Structure 1
Amino acid sequence: MIPMPLGRIAEITGGALTGMADPHAEVRGPVVIDSRAAEPGALFVALKGQRADGHDFAAQACEAGAVAVLAARPVEAPAVIVSDPVAALAALASATAAALPDTTVIGITGSAGKTTTKDLLARITSRIGPTVSPMGSYNNELGHPLTVLRADAATRFLVLELSARGEGHIAYLARIAPPRIGVVLNVGTAHMGVFGGREAIARAKGELVEALPAAGSAVLNADDPHVRAMADRTQARVLLFGRSPEADIRAEDETLDERGRAAFTLRTPSGAAPVRLRLHGGHTVANALAAAAAAYELGLPVATIAEELSAAEPRSRWRMEVRDRPDGVTIVNDAYNANPDSMRAAFEALSVIGRGRRKFAVIAALRELGNDGPRLNEEVGRIAHEAGLELLIVVGENAGPVLSGAGGMRTAIVAPADAGPPGATRAVAHLPDVEAATRELARRLAPGDVVLVKGPRAAGLERVAEALLGGDPR
């Protein structure tokens, strides 16, 4: 964070100093919303949540070294009192971004793949200058400004994720830290129930390219017609990436190894170079191409881009983590979150990793799909049914459409799946919770088997993967 006196913070946020707060006391960062993360020089933002009120932990944060608290009401600690701490946090981040004219802001949005693309691009930009990027998926009205506030005068690149749960959200985030390069990955079905349809999702994602200056760059997926059409919504230069022959940055001669890792030739207007990803799943090629296109716009040589993509390891947890147990059982933990598109990609990866091996999958019904939820969940079941699994386990509530699509019975008892094509899933189980799923798998797995764990974040299915790998299922 840019060092800033409390008086200046109060001025930016329209707040009032209380609790013997010294206007000359300097906040050096970090800015935190968890009192346990407070350290000397920090600013603690007190937020009222459903289960806890940050104001109750203000004194604890200052005892840990926080200079003051950004709060909505007086607390037993030095504080800047504001009417809305979330809006004040955004104002503080906006002022920080405005004070860093030499920092290039890169925004990334899309229905799927934002975090992987962000991780890849941040690795590449770190090659040429100090880079700040979100921890995990800090991409909403809280995580976004918190990430911006980690930047300081030395920061040359700010690589940000921008998420939306409705129209206007991305425009709001883009105003906090105006991007010079905007990357749009795809328009999928994630949160379709919240948005109301794919066209509404496209309008929301396109707010990123509308925020770009004329001297900026819009990096768009040539293979997604909804994204490609966004070229008409910006005055910025447009660069296309994808598998299409018309893409400026594209992949040629793709192959997948036995672990589902892609190799391809990265083709650019100024030359080509080989890439061999360490990430799992063919869907990661599009993420790599998006990162490559943004890096190309920054002027990096294609050989350097290819070298960094090939060296990149998975950075964010529970996203296509592929780990082997000593007995040869392979666990594919992709449980961070799920939507219909990412579920299909995960099963495609499983088909490669599990070739010639017994395959199992643990999934849960997808959420936030609106009126299309039953149809899309039934489609997930069909995808699983056609995956040739030894056993499909569906965990938790609202599993009916998934079970129907999988040819299974609405019962907690493992039952043969209905007749299907050759190689169809053999059995389906509906189990109530993570613990039951873990027990069922533990008694069935044999050396050499493969297990995919994939579901919405709220289902907590990562605990299945962790338990099977020897951790605590709780």
Structure 2
Amino acid sequence: RDGGPLTVARLRLDEIAGITGGTILQGPPERSFESYGIDSRRAAPGGLFFAVRGKRDGHDFVADAAGNGAAGAVIARPVDVADPSFGLVLVGDTVAALQALARDVLARRPARVVGVTGSVGKTTTKEFTAALLAPRYRVLKSEGNYNNHLGLALSLLRLGCDDAIAVLEMGMSAPGEIRALTRIAPPDVAVITNVSPVHLEFFAGLEEIALAKREILDGARPGATAVLNGDDPMVMAVSGGFAGRKVLFGRSAACDVRAEALAAKGFDGFEIALRYGRESGRVTLPCLNEASVADFLAAAGVCLALGLVLDEIVPVVPALRPFAMRGAVVETAGGVRVYDDSYNSNPQALEAALASLAGLPAGRKVAVLADMLELGEGGPDFHRRAGETLAGAGWDVLVAVGLLAAHIADGAADAGTPPGAIHRFADAGAAAAAIAGIVRDGDLVLVKGSRGMRMEAVVEALRARGME
């Protein structure tokens, strides 16, 4: 079960007050809620709004939530709502209240938790895992990238009595954040996809990132299983002290779930000779980026940990697809294929995409690459090396977007990409305005950049190309 509004757990106003240690200021105690949110613009009819303080103070939008249909709010300071039937629960901390409700809902459900973390591939692994488990179990998965202290709690409030598995993405950008998530939802199965250079602005090095990822193991339930990337030395090092069962995935012979052979099949994806515990078989994963193979192996590792046999997952593989903005292929006018990886970027993920897509048949290969953010002092060097990789892989055209991406352009130029094949833009809006004049019919276009660069604007411009 996935998609749709954040609804399911039905809680009364007096229950909410009791669980959160709050006080009912107004509204009938018996009023019940089964929809929860933190965005007043998306308040569902009859839902409960949490007035969270962030860049803006949610208390200033309680009236808007009510106007959009919400029937109650959890607040940390008094607010005026004219309708006396509108429920108001006063608490000390609205975020803590949201998390307390999520913990309570999980404690009252029989569902096992699969927690997924890692530097790269969390969302795709989460999506693949939920899809592979769905034929046997009723599965809840976290919505989109709902992977922080708010999103994970909201996801759990969708947990139904008949959900057997909750597949939850657990993200972080600082030490302690994953540990906090495991206090809300301690995993029965804890997945670490990999450790790579992301968020280096907030860490001294890869070792610190690895220790932060290890928090998912430290916060797992007693008797939990760890599903670990057996090819990643950092993952293996930090998981050494984990006392529970380990399921390894990867390419090496020591992995319980592994790709024993891999063959690229163009736009059909990758054919995998799969070893799955004591079983083996062949599957074709319909993804263009070889990095998705590791995400699939991680998901298969979860299935092995939960006791599924190979015959249960093989029929599902042909239907697996990358998540929107994370490797989805967009077909546009003139036979242009857009590999939309615009949601985020980091050095390892970019290198994998450049290497995998370079071998696909196309008129030209065009890379539209924006800044990779939060890399700290090494940011310029990471970008320059990406340009060198692009040139070495034989990409025909580079569109560099942003100040840091200028270093990608410099690296590509120094490595042999012709100056006339390099285009530089200050931001995504400028690149989007020019992209139709750069791309030709039959091109394959990779679009990738950090979330803050908003590269979906370029994808939308490519969708519109030829439709005027």
Which TM class, normalised by the smaller chain length?
over 0.9
What whole-Å deviation, never above 9, does each CA across 1:218-251 have from its counterpart, x for those lacking one? 0111000111223323221011111111101111
Structure 1 counterpart of 2:387: 381
Q: 1:453 to 1:152 in 2, by over 3 A?
A: same
Is this contact kept in 2: 1:386–1:424, CA < 8 A? no
1:469 counterpart SS class: helix
Structure 2 counterpart of 1:92: 101
Structure 2 counterpart of 1:47: 52
Q: Single out whichever of 393-402 and 187-196 deviates more from structure 2.
A: 393-402
1:53-92 alignment, distance < 5 Å:
53-77=57-81, 78-92=87-101
Displacement of 1:259? 1.7
Q: 1:7 to 1:428 in 2, by over 3 A?
A: same
1:297-336 alignment, distance < 5 Å:
297-314=305-322, 316-336=323-343
Is this contact kept in 2: 1:281–1:346, CA < 8 A? yes
Structure 2 counterpart of 1:446: 440
Cα distance in 1, alignment partners of residues 419 and 219 from structure 2: 47
Alignment counterpart, residue 258 of structure 1, candidates 266, 285, 302: 266
Structure 2 counterpart of 1:30: 35
1:243-392 alignment, distance < 5 Å:
243-259=251-267, 261-314=269-322, 316-353=323-360, 355=361, 357-392=363-398
Q: 1:424 to 1:349 in 2, by over 3 A?
A: farther
1:233 counterpart SS class: coil
Cα distance in 2, alignment partners of residues 248 and 222 from structure 1: 9
Q: Which runs of 5+ in 2 are unaligned?
A: 1-7, 82-86
1:145-184 alignment, distance < 5 Å:
145-184=153-192
Displacement of 1:11? 1.8
Is this contact kept in 1: 2:436–2:465, CA < 8 A? no
Q: 1:356 to 1:4 in 2, by over 3 A?
A: closer
2:132 counterpart SS class: helix
Alignment counterpart, residue 139 of structure 2, candidates 109, 131, 136: 131
2:239 counterpart SS class: helix
Q: Does 1:144 align with 2:149?
A: no
Percent of aligned pairs sharing the same letter: 38
Whichever residue aligns with residue 204 of structure 1, its letter is A
Is this contact kept in 2: 1:105–1:178, CA < 8 A? yes
Alignment counterpart, residue 454 of structure 2, candidates 438, 455, 460: 460
Alignment counterpart, residue 114 of structure 2, candidates 82, 106, 111: 106
Whichever residue aligns with residue 319 of structure 2, its letter is A
Structure 2 counterpart of 1:415: none
What whole-Å deviation, never above 9, does each CA across 1:249-276 have from its counterpart, x for those lacking one? 1112211111271110221223112211
1:451 counterpart SS class: strand
Cα distance in 2, alignment partners of residues 382 and 151 from structure 1: 47
Is this contact kept in 2: 1:170–1:207, CA < 8 A? yes
Is this contact kept in 2: 1:39–1:66, CA < 8 A? yes
Alignment counterpart, residue 229 of structure 1, candidates 237, 249, 260: 237
Whichever residue aligns with residue 184 of structure 1, its letter is I
Is this contact kept in 1: 2:398–2:409, CA < 8 A? no
Cα distance in 1, alignment partners of residues 350 and 44 from structure 2: 40
Cα distance in 1, alignment partners of residues 268 and 454 from structure 2: 25
Cα distance in 2, alignment partners of residues 178 and 402 from structure 1: 41
Q: Does 1:405 align with 2:411?
A: yes
Q: 1:128 to 1:356 in 2, by over 3 A?
A: closer
Is this contact kept in 1: 2:229–2:248, CA < 8 A? yes
Q: Single out whichever of 233-242 and 442-451 deviates more from structure 2.
A: 442-451
In the superposition, the TM-score normalised over structure 2's length comes to: 0.92
Number of aligned residue pairs = 455
Cα distance in 2, alignment partners of residues 88 and 214 from structure 1: 26
Is this contact kept in 1: 2:199–2:375, CA < 8 A? yes
In the superposition, the TM-score normalised over structure 1's length comes to: 0.91
Q: 1:65 to 1:435 in 2, by over 3 A?
A: closer
What whole-Å deviation, never above 9, does each CA across 1:116-171 have from its counterpart, x for those lacking one? 01001111222122211111110011111111111021111100011111111111
Structure 2 counterpart of 1:3: 10
Displacement of 1:70? 1.0
Whichever residue aligns with residue 365 of structure 2, its letter is K
Displacement of 1:290? 0.5
Is this contact kept in 1: 2:379–2:404, CA < 8 A? no
Cα distance in 2, alignment partners of residues 261 and 138 from structure 1: 28
Structure 2 counterpart of 1:470: 464
Cα distance in 2, alignment partners of residues 383 and 262 from structure 1: 22
2:246 counterpart SS class: strand
What whole-Å deviation, never above 9, does each CA across 1:15-73 have from its counterpart, x for those lacking one? 2211x22222212x2211112322234211112332x4322332332344433101121
Q: Does 1:206 align with 2:214?
A: yes
Cα distance in 2, alignment partners of residues 47 and 356 from structure 1: 48
